[in-house]
Structure 1
């Protein structure tokens, strides 16, 4: 099957795909004072932050509707005006994901929090990492929490990719059960995909070009390790399945 992929305007400079400008995860502040329990989603939003996205679904199979939230800092000093390449303005406020289970007596119990997985973008030439997926950036479907991130820059690199992280609840803790990465080099058309099922320990890779009528699949086994916890994933653009 031939891949159909839009080749966007070439970037002005080429950069190493391992160093994405603006991905300052080490500098991201934690969302302070997130309570352990709340009667509603808005109760998990601390002062100086706002609720950007809220999705519902049953994560633990008890028939009750659980929550996953993206909250974002609301500091006007981190909304930067730009008079150079890229957009006229970009938002450098960090995001945190909060996951909470609905309790039998009402209200919600926070079970997980990640302050780093959604990168902070510090450049007007880099698109927001969750904009590309729209309403599908964060979902709960059939007990699986999925986060979709995308990278695209109008200058500084030819690289573009999208990544999906899939988590399932096990013994009251969210673990990474799946990882998918679709990468394209916009200059050469090089295509690389990786899909990992951490439960079956099966890994599928594809290496070729977007011009290829068929890109062969290569299947392999990965070593058995404890599932990586949601809280411990780190930066979504920094994640390397070969090192985790």
Structure 2
């Protein structure tokens, strides 16, 4: 168990729980002679959430092993290093922040964040935020989606510029809020951009 968080997903006043688990199979730790650590741990992770029951104990409502991607390159930083993480906010929402950085094989770095609210039997995606910087050109891109207000904005800038970038707002089409399990790999997920306002 890499992390354990308590919160109140269903707002009933009882302490619900979020666990971040990681397989511990030595066969998934491979030798590496290139960039990165000499022993590369490819063991996958799993997010598990459970609701506290009125009579005691917990009932599992989530067991997902795809949103937090499995490590595939020793030259890439752990997506849940000090710049990433999972947890429960005070309002009971579940968040997952994934960090992207490669010491070789790519210039892009940044963070991708998801916010989920437990509703109608699953964790529904209500927020998505992504920030990226190209370390070669200095180009910066930021995007933020609020699926409850059905609005999103994007901005493009450069680290050499002092002015705050302009945000381009968009309206999102009406659509059912997707469940966490429908997002799949958090680093591959790309939301659909709506119409410009």
User: In which range does the TM-score fall when normalised by the shorter chain?
Assistant: over 0.9
Instruction: List runs of 5+ in structure 1 lacking aligned partners.
Output: 1-50
**Equivalent in the alignment of 1:138:** 86
**Equivalent in the alignment of 2:73:** 123
**Equivalent in the alignment of 1:217:** 167
After TM superposition, the runs of 4+ consecutive aligned structure 1 residues lying more than 2 A away are none
Note the C-alpha offset of 1:169. Answer: 1.1
Relative contact order (C-alpha < 8 Å, sep 6+): which is higher?
1
Q: For residues 203 and 72 of structure 1, what CA distance do their matches in structure 2 show?
A: 33
Q: Secondary structure at the match of 1:165?
A: strand
How many residue pairs get aligned? The number is 191
Note the C-alpha offset of 1:123. Answer: 1.6
**Equivalent in the alignment of 1:181:** 130
- Residues 187-230 of structure 1 show CA distances to partners (whole Å, capped at 9, x for unaligned) of 00010000000010110111111222221111111111111101
Q: TM-score, normalised by structure 2?
A: 0.93
Between Structure 1 and Structure 2, which shows a larger proportion of strand residues?
2
Q: For residues 80 and 187 of structure 2, what CA distance do their matches in structure 1 show?
A: 12
Note the C-alpha offset of 1:132. Answer: 3.0
1:9-28 alignment to 2 at 5 Å? none
- Residues 158-180 of structure 1 show CA distances to partners (whole Å, capped at 9, x for unaligned) of 01120110000112321000000
- Residues 43-93 of structure 1 show CA distances to partners (whole Å, capped at 9, x for unaligned) of xxxxxxxx2211110111101111111111111011112122222222100
1:185-200 alignment to 2 at 5 Å? 185-200=134-149
Select 1:147's aligned residue among 96, 102, 108. Answer: 96
Q: For residues 109 and 118 of structure 2, what CA distance do their matches in structure 1 show?
A: 30
Note the C-alpha offset of 1:133. Answer: 2.9
Select 2:51's aligned residue among 73, 97, 101. Answer: 101
Residues 129, 149 of structure 1: 8 Å contact kept? yes
Select 2:38's aligned residue among 79, 88, 91. Answer: 88
Q: For residues 53 and 206 of structure 1, what CA distance do their matches in structure 2 show?
A: 33
Q: Secondary structure at the match of 2:34?
A: coil
Q: For residues 227 and 161 of structure 1, what CA distance do their matches in structure 2 show?
A: 25
Q: For residues 183 and 67 of structure 1, what CA distance do their matches in structure 2 show?
A: 31
Q: For residues 146 and 53 of structure 2, what CA distance do their matches in structure 1 show?
A: 30
Residues 132, 149 of structure 1: 8 Å contact kept? no
**Equivalent in the alignment of 1:66:** 16
Q: Secondary structure at the match of 1:128?
A: coil
Q: For residues 242 and 58 of structure 1, what CA distance do their matches in structure 2 show?
A: 30
